[in-house]
């Protein structure tokens, strides 16, 4: 990473709130897709490319209500337009939300590479690039939602010296407060699953994954009551079971995994086009953690990047 692009306080309306089996925040692939679309436009116009992306959430609001004023929430949805019989049309439920996020995007270029604006000074080149990206970013969609505001877009070079880099990194991370950055914690999931397998050889990985989302309580018998009394009167105390690990851990969607062989062009009917090979996939899941940006040991630990193989298309921010 030679430089870093910071898009501060992007206001998004009607973004996707459902990602596979999870809900509450868009899949990380939505943000990498946004940075990829911005990179393609930049590469087409000026021959420059962008890299990984870090996500910091400042505020979010899911479009959900409690119909009875208490109990479970349901998504607030609309059914328009009406059918020709003036009735509400059937539709698939789509969860929506509003977001206020900041994105950090890696740049594979430095200020010295900005020679296409024919400006005399490097600072003017950077300013022209910032203006170009500021306009271009607001024409794109983020997580299926509309960008209705962007507070600022800045480009900063990454210092080479250790002391300068440390000071630069601290300034960049403190500017993102208050907010929480999403990082991957697949290591916590694997560790928890190994513990479950040690106790039960038939334990499934999905059960270990669900332990980070489920709320569990365990019945604890009264110490003064004997077994017979407990069985008859059922006098027990319900105790909350802590999550497998400490921290703001959440289940997340990180990409796709193949569930079929790769089919040649045209072998599968009704595909998007007849020139691209086709494969059936399903969503891939992991565990993420929300952390305060200034607690990151290195700013590079916050960046998500594509990891592509023959069987998987994943978004990861750990080199594992």
Contact between residue 208 and residue 193 where contact means Cβ atoms under 8 Å apart: yes
How confident is the model at residue 296, as a pLDDT?
Answer: 87
How confident is the model at residue 223, as a pLDDT?
Answer: 61
The residue among 87, 296, 287, 278 whose CA lies nearest residue 172 is 296
Torsion of CA 125, 126, 128, 134, to 10 degrees: 160
How confident is the model at residue 231, as a pLDDT?
Answer: 56
- Strands (DSSP E) along 72-214, which ranges? 74-75, 96-107, 141-142, 145-157, 180-184
How confident is the model at residue 122, as a pLDDT?
Answer: 46
How confident is the model at residue 309, as a pLDDT?
Answer: 86
- Side by side, which strands form the sheet with 50-62? 141-142, 145-157, 3-16, 96-107, 50-62, 180-184, 281-291, 249-258, 312-316, 305-308
More confident residue, 79 or 101: 101
Distance CA 181, CA 28 (A): 12
Distance CA 33, CA 41 (A): 12
Per-residue pLDDT of 213-249, as tens digits, reads 888 888 887 665 555 554 555 677 888 888 888 888 9
Question: Tokens for 215?
Answer: 């709320």
Q: Within a 10 A sphere around the Cβ of 250, how many other Cβ atoms?
A: 16
How confident is the model at residue 10, as a pLDDT?
Answer: 94
Q: How confident is the model at residue 68 (pLDDT cuts 50, 70, 90)?
A: confident
Q: How confident is the model at residue 34 (pLDDT cuts 50, 70, 90)?
A: very high
Per-residue pLDDT of 249-259, as tens digits, reads 999 999 999 99
In this prediction, residues 262-267 reach a mean pLDDT of 86
pTM for the model stands at 0.85
Percent of the chain residues topping a pLDDT of 70: 90
Distance CA 290, CA 60 (A): 14
Range scoring the smallest mean pLDDT among 110-119, 195-204, 278-287, 295-304: 110-119
Contact between residue 97 and residue 52 where contact means Cβ atoms under 8 Å apart: no
Contact between residue 180 and residue 248 where contact means Cβ atoms under 8 Å apart: yes
In this prediction, residues 21-27 reach a mean pLDDT of 89
**Opening angle at CA 134, ends 112 and 58, nearest 5:** 110
The residue among 280, 287, 206 whose CA lies nearest residue 253 is 287
How confident is the model at residue 201, as a pLDDT?
Answer: 85
Q: How confident is the model at residue 123 (pLDDT cuts 50, 70, 90)?
A: very low
In this prediction, residues 32-49 reach a mean pLDDT of 90
Where do the domains of the chain lie? 3-184, 187-287
Exposure string over 168-190, b if 16+ CB within 10 A, otherwise e: bbeebbebbeebbbbbbbbebbe
More confident residue, 224 or 199: 199
Contact between residue 52 and residue 164 where contact means Cβ atoms under 8 Å apart: no
Per-residue pLDDT of 128-168, as tens digits, reads 888 889 999 999 999 989 999 999 999 888 888 888 888 88
Distance CA 250, CA 236 (A): 30
How confident is the model at residue 85, as a pLDDT?
Answer: 84
């Amino acid at each position: 990473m030679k430089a870093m692009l910071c898009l501060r306080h992007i206001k998004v309306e009607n973004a996707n709130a459902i990602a596979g089996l999870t809900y509450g925040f868009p899949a990380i692939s939505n943000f990498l897709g946004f940075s990829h679309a911005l990179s393609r436009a930049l590469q087409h116009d000026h021959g420059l490319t962008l890299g990984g992306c870090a996500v910091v959430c400042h505020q979010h609001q899911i479009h959900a209500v409690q119909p009875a004023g208490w109990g479970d929430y349901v998504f607030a949805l609309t059914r328009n337009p009406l059918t020709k019989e003036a009735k509400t049309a059937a539709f698939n439920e789509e969860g929506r939300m509003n977001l206020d996020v900041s994105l950090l995007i890696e740049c594979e270029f430095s200020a010295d590479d900005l020679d296409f604006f024919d400006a005399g000074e490097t600072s003017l080149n950077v300013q022209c690039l910032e203006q170009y990206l500021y306009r271009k970013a607001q024409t794109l969609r983020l997580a299926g939602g509309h960008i209705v505001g962007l507070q600022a877009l800045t480009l900063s070079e990454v210092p080479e010296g250790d002391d300068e880099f440390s000071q630069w990194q601290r300034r960049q991370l403190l500017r993102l407060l208050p907010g929480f950055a999403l990082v991957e914690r697949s290591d916590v999931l694997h560790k928890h699953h190994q513990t479950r397998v040690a106790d039960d050889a038939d334990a499934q990985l999905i059960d270990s994954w669900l332990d980070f989302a489920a709320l569990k309580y365990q019945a604890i018998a009264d110490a003064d009551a004997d077994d017979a009394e407990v069985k008859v009167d059922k006098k027990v105390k319900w105790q909350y079971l802590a999550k497998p690990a400490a921290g703001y851990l959440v289940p997340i969607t990180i990409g796709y995994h193949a569930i079929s062989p790769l089919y040649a062009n045209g072998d599968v009917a009704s595909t998007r086009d007849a020139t691209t090979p086709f494969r059936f996939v399903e969503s891939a899941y992991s565990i993420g953690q929300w952390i305060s940006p200034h607690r990151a040991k290195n700013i590079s630990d916050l960046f998500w990047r594509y990891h592509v193989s023959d069987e998987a298309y994943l978004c990861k921010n750990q080199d594992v």
